Amino acid sequence: MKKLLALVIAFVVVGSGVAIAHQPVVLLNSDTTAAKGPLLVDGTVSFAVRASFAKAGEKKAFRAQLKEGDALEIQYLIIDKKPENALKMTQLPSLVVTGPGGFKLTMKLNERTKFFEQFTQTNYWYLGRYSGMAKAGIYSFVLTGRGKSAITLGVGDREVPGEVVRGAYVAPTVSASPTPVVTPTPAGYTMAQVKANNTAKSCWSVIDGYVYNLTNWINSHPGGSGAILFLCGTDGTNAFKAQHENQSKPAVRLDTYRLGPLNK
């Protein structure tokens, strides 16, 4: 199994302030479906996803994880160079985004706005943009080539370091942070206790008023470790329901990790 954790941090100091450029993520030829492609663990972080196509029909895809009410920001750009800048909109790769709650977006390429990206000193064209509000869950981005071309998708707008996961997640080694010792009160657990267990080494989450220890599920989850890591130390009710409401297998599995009720 190929394991790769890429923590890409690209920042440039400009004048007195610090600016962080869109973090680059390059889609590989093997990223032919969203499940095979990389996962942007927090889709509100600013990423620049690059995809190049050799011929029509080729697919490249990735995923971005969002929480309820997060901003879903997508920008479709090309670099101002041949062949892309000479192609018609209909000759460029199509982008279809699907997400929780039946969300489906076919990106409209309806603008041509110049954009000079100062960090790499590159001229781009904006060809399309989308802004919306996300539901909790994983959004899939699927690009289909229509000929030789390369494009860049901007996702997210928060200029902070982000995390990209491929395949199984390799938990980062957390130094000098002992697993919190927890003594449950007879009545149950507190939110403070849940919040203290917010790492891959000890991952608790609340779902529908109960506390679960999901640590051992992180690396076994068919939907990827990122989805579970996202819940560590939080109330994961919305995220779990958005993805798995009315599904028996996730509910049965979840039951096996139950610690007890959350104290109100």
* Sole binder of ligand HEM in the list 27, 34, 72, 227 (CB under 6 A): 227
CA distance 182 to 92: 55
DSSP type of residue 8: -
Q: Which of 46/225 has CB closer to ligand HEM?
A: 225
Confirm if 233 and 198 have CB atoms less than 8 A apart.
Answer: yes
Stretch that binds ligand HEM, among 9-17, 52-60, 162-170, 214-222 (CB under 6 A): 214-222
- The interface with ligand HEM within residues 133-152 (CB under 6 A) comprises 137-138
Other beta carbons within 10 Å of 257: 18
DSSP type of residue 256: T
Residue 143 Cβ, how far from ligand HEM at the closest point, in Å?
Answer: 19
Binding mask 34-63 for ligand HEM (x = CB under 6 A): -x----------------------------
Binding mask 164-203 for ligand HEM (x = CB under 6 A): ----------------------------------------
Residue 137 Cβ, how far from ligand HEM at the closest point, in Å?
Answer: 5
- The 3-state DSSP class for residue 84 equals helix
Residue nearest to ligand HEM (CB): 223
Q: In sequence order, which ranges of the chain are alpha helices (DSSP H)?
A: 191-196, 225-229, 237-244, 248-255
**What burial letters (b/e) apply to 197-224, b meaning 16+ CB within 10 Å?**
bbbbbbbbbbbeebbbbbbebbeebebb
- The interface with ligand HEM within residues 100-129 (CB under 6 A) comprises none
214 binds ligand HEM (CB under 6 A): yes
* Region of 256 on the Ramachandran plot (φ > 0 left; ψ -120 to 50 alpha; else beta): alpha
241 binds ligand HEM (CB under 6 A): no
Q: Facing residues of 130 across strands?
A: 74
222 binds ligand HEM (CB under 6 A): yes
CB neighbours of 127 closer than 8 A, spacing ≥ 6?
76, 77, 78, 89, 92, 109, 110, 111, 112
155 binds ligand HEM (CB under 6 A): no
Confirm if 126 and 113 have CB atoms less than 8 A apart.
Answer: yes
221 binds ligand HEM (CB under 6 A): yes
- DSSP strand pairing (59-66 vs 39-40): parallel
* Sole binder of ligand HEM in the list 47, 53, 62, 240 (CB under 6 A): 240
Stretch that binds ligand HEM, among 20-28, 68-76, 179-187, 218-226 (CB under 6 A): 218-226
Residue 176 Cβ, how far from ligand HEM at the closest point, in Å?
Answer: 28
Residues that bind ligand HEM (CB under 6 A): 35, 65, 137-138, 214, 217, 221-223, 227-228, 231, 236, 239-240, 243-244, 249-250, 253-254
